[in-house]
Amino acid sequence: MWLLWTILIGILVGWLAGLIVKGRGMGVLVDLIVGILGSLLGHFVFGLLGLASYGLIGSLVISVVGAVLLLLLIRVIKRA
C-alpha cells in the first residue's frame, strides 16, 4: 500500500511542479520520476536547513518544492 501512495503522490507532485515551472506537465511517466526524485531532494534540502514536515500536507509542500528545484536544475543543465 505504501508503494501505491508513493506513486500517486509522486505523479501529483510531478504534475504540480510541471505546472509551476513549465506551464504544463511532461507526461505521467516523467511526472512520476520528477515527483519521486523531487520529493527526495526536497526532504534532503529541508533536512539540511533543519526544517521538518509533519502530516500529508507538509510532506506534499516539501515534495513540490523539491520537484520545482529539480525541474529548474534540469532546465539550467539543458541550456548549458
Segment 20-74, tens digit of pLDDT: 887 655 677 777 788 888 888 888 899 899 998 888 888 888 889 999 998 888 8
The predicted model scores a pTM of 0.82
In a domain, 65, yes or no: yes
In a domain, 6, yes or no: no
| Range of the structural domain that residue 68 is part of | 28-80
- In this prediction, residue 49 carries a pLDDT of 93
In a domain, 7, yes or no: no
- In this prediction, residue 48 carries a pLDDT of 94
In a domain, 12, yes or no: no
CB distance 75 to 50 below 8 Å: no
In a domain, 75, yes or no: yes
Structural domain count of the chain = 1
Confidence of residue 7 (pLDDT cuts 50, 70, 90): confident
Q: Mean pLDDT in the chain?
A: 83
In a domain, 41, yes or no: yes
In a domain, 20, yes or no: no
In a domain, 71, yes or no: yes
CB distance 68 to 20 below 8 Å: yes
- In this prediction, residue 26 carries a pLDDT of 65
CB distance 15 to 68 below 8 Å: no
